[in-house]
Structure 1
Amino acid sequence: MTQDTSAMQTNQLQPSDKASGNDVRQRFFIEDSPVRGDVVRLSRSYASTIAQKPYPEAIKRLLGEMLTAASLLIGTVKIDGRLSIQLQSSDQDSLLNWAMAECDQNGIIRALASWKADNDEQIAAWEDMTQANEAFAELGAIGQGVLFINIQPDNGEPYQGIVERSHDNLADCLAHYQKQSAQIPTLINLASDGLQAGGVLVQMLPRTAAENIEVERNQDAGIDDDLWTRLSILTSTVKSEELTTLAASEIIYRLYNEENVVAPDPVSLEFGCTCSREKCEMAIAQIGETEALDIIEEQNGTFEMDCGFCGEVYTFDKDDVTAIFAQ
């Protein structure tokens, strides 16, 4: 993908300060067509996420792809709430236990993973891995491991979709899921270099009944039947280093500068966490007063709960626990 951006046409996306940021989701449309898409770029928000734990390099990169994917997919659903992607190993010998990444409608992202590094052999195995697909492969062979998409509206029933482990990388599994479950042809490219992450998603929405009638009658009034084929070829040319280093507007222009692209203002993305002392109190209430007090006694008078996402530590003593159960 090597296009000169020195002379842009006025009907196409123009770079702006907002769209040039490194932590954004930039939506775009192909004018007069059923095509929509998004480009996500993560830098500071991604760095803040993976700084919370000493992740092996391959897991860092996998979490970058997962954060990017969650940020892309939430743009395809109309909810006030959160969307998360979760990977779960079904093999007790897997070095990756589980991983998850989340984005909400306000662009707040976070991620977390659990892995095995209990001995020199396991530590050495992680040191030999440098790519996201190697960490993804720890789920097992194709058909093994479990992938979920969780949608949790602020008001309404949560939804969980099971993603078929149909390919050896996250992007193709998610694209396959979109095509099979929603019947929407979808292209997804993801990339992460351990420092930055990025990706692009393109979808062909269903034609309207009127458009289908026009096609059947061969009286196409401006319907471009070659558009999806053309976009598929163009999208496949994007390089990983371009997704992780170029601005969102630059990526869109380089890929689709021959199309009539329309783009609204981008959405900012940033690292954030939803943990709180109140949620910890709810967890203690589920444990039960007797067990919580026993833990405090065992730990010399305090009970600490730490958040794996952001590292925040919440400390409770006997009086705090008593107050929780006195409410």
Structure 2
Amino acid sequence: MTLGQKIAWDDTVLPFQLDQSDVRGRVVRLDGVLDGVLKQHDYPAPVEALIAEMALMTALIGQTIKLRWKLSLQVQANGPVRMIATDYFAPSEDGEPAKIRAYASFDAEQITDATPFDQIGEGYFAVILDQGKDTAPYQGITPIAGARLSDCAEAYFAQSEQLPTRFALSYGRSTEGDGREHWRAGGVMIQMMPKASPFASGGGSGEDGLLSASDILDEDGEENWNRVNTLLDTVEDLELIGPSVSSTDLLVRLFHEETPRVFDVQPVRFGCTCSEERLRNSLSIYSAKDIGHMTTDEGTVTADCQFCGAHYTLDPATLGFEAEAKGDDE
């Protein structure tokens, strides 16, 4: 695909609802966000693909939840890719963009020619909701299952939220008019409305006994869900990431019989919350002796942000609770 200019619906999430079937959803297109995430590191192609998929899901899920601060998705595993972490920071004001950041930890020597998902191995997929100061974060965990990260997210919603959920995602490198390549991604998330999902108990019919949509829905709900999934099955990769089909046109093409209703578009951007102040606060629990162990031969304390690559160099005499106490006495 050749793109000569930025597209209006890039780096946006469009919420929608299908009134005929009690299904809600989101359409996402990511372009500059992925550039911001991936240019910070020299990731192998399989790792880039995994991060692109996680970033897509983070944008879709984050916009679904009424957050006051942060949603995090994490993968912890025993394969060549040890960890993938993404954060979605909700807008602080109406009309402002949400912010996404992501990074992965991996053993470069163990990366193989297998599929990106096969680089993960066994482990777990976690969703963490942090509503900010004076609140306890919520964490839900499900085992790594299926053939892609989106399968893990679908299993999480079935187990933890009892909400049938489906993702249709596409991502890959695109070529600009000047020949430069960069990553581009798009996807659709559909989910039954909470009121349409009765509580299920006991083991499920999915992989390793996990719950699936048929274990959760009643007869009418299952019929609606299957019909909408059949329509989503017709989506093509180029419709998800290409320049020719807008998010609204895609919804009309897929779901016109389901009476789609759209809401305000949410812009998303790459963004990081790291700062020298946050770093100093995180080090304030340490004694001067502890700070001494962190000090380099050059006499400084250094730190790098894994998300954005920012580098910090600090004077150890100004760090830790003893430095603060000394400052209070003066």
The residue that corresponds to 1:233 in the other structure is: 230
Q: 1:125-157, CA deviations, whole angstroms, 9 ceiling, x for partnerless residues? A: 45x35xxxx2322222xxx21111111112422
Q: 1:205-261, CA deviations, whole angstroms, 9 ceiling, x for partnerless residues? A: 25579xxxxxxxxxxxxx998432221101122233332224322322221133311
Q: Is the 8 A contact 1:87 1:148 kept in 2?
A: yes
Identity rate, percent: 31
1:289 aligns to 2:288 (yes or no): yes
The residue that corresponds to 1:316 in the other structure is: 314
TM-score for both structures, normalised by structure 1? 0.78
The residue that corresponds to 1:215 in the other structure is: none
TM-score for both structures, normalised by structure 2? 0.77
Superposition CA RMSD, Å: 2.5
Q: 1:175-213, CA deviations, whole angstroms, 9 ceiling, x for partnerless residues? A: 12212322222111222214011221111225579xxxx
**Offset at residue 290 of structure 1 (A):** 1.8
1:63 aligns to 2:51 (yes or no): yes
Runs of 4+ in 1 over 4 A off after TM superposition: 206-209, 223-226, 322-325
Structure 1 gap segments, 5+ residues each: 1-18, 210-222
* Alpha-carbon distance in 1 for matches of 2:166, 2:40: 31
The residue that corresponds to 2:206 in the other structure is: none
The residue that corresponds to 2:302 in the other structure is: 304
Compared CA separation, residues 208 and 314, structure 1 to 2 (3 A): closer
How many equivalent residue pairs? 280
Paired residue secondary structure (2:66): coil
The residue that corresponds to 1:148 in the other structure is: 126
Q: Is the 8 A contact 2:20 2:258 kept in 1?
A: no
The residue that corresponds to 1:87 in the other structure is: 75
* Alpha-carbon distance in 2 for matches of 1:68, 1:175: 14
The residue that corresponds to 2:100 in the other structure is: 109
The residue that corresponds to 1:216 in the other structure is: none
Structure 2 gap segments, 5+ residues each: 1-6, 92-97, 174-182, 198-219
Q: Is the 8 A contact 1:20 1:249 kept in 2?
A: no
Q: Is the 8 A contact 1:40 1:200 kept in 2?
A: yes
* Alpha-carbon distance in 1 for matches of 2:103, 2:222: 42
Q: 1:28-68, CA deviations, whole angstroms, 9 ceiling, x for partnerless residues? A: 01235421110111100111101100011111111111011
**Offset at residue 108 of structure 1 (A):** 0.6
Q: Is the 8 A contact 1:96 1:135 kept in 2?
A: no
Q: Is the 8 A contact 1:22 1:247 kept in 2?
A: no
Paired residue secondary structure (1:102): strand
The residue that corresponds to 1:73 in the other structure is: 61
The residue that corresponds to 1:99 in the other structure is: 84
* Alpha-carbon distance in 2 for matches of 1:186, 1:24: 20
**Offset at residue 285 of structure 1 (A):** 2.5
Out of 137, 158, 167, the position equivalent to 1:179 is 158
Q: 1:265-317, CA deviations, whole angstroms, 9 ceiling, x for partnerless residues? A: 10000000011112211232334312323543x42122211111111111112
* Alpha-carbon distance in 1 for matches of 2:81, 2:151: 20
Compared CA separation, residues 21 and 284, structure 1 to 2 (3 A): same
Paired residue secondary structure (1:49): helix
Alignment of 1:164-175 (within 5 A): 164-175=143-154
The residue that corresponds to 1:261 in the other structure is: 260
Paired residue secondary structure (1:257): helix
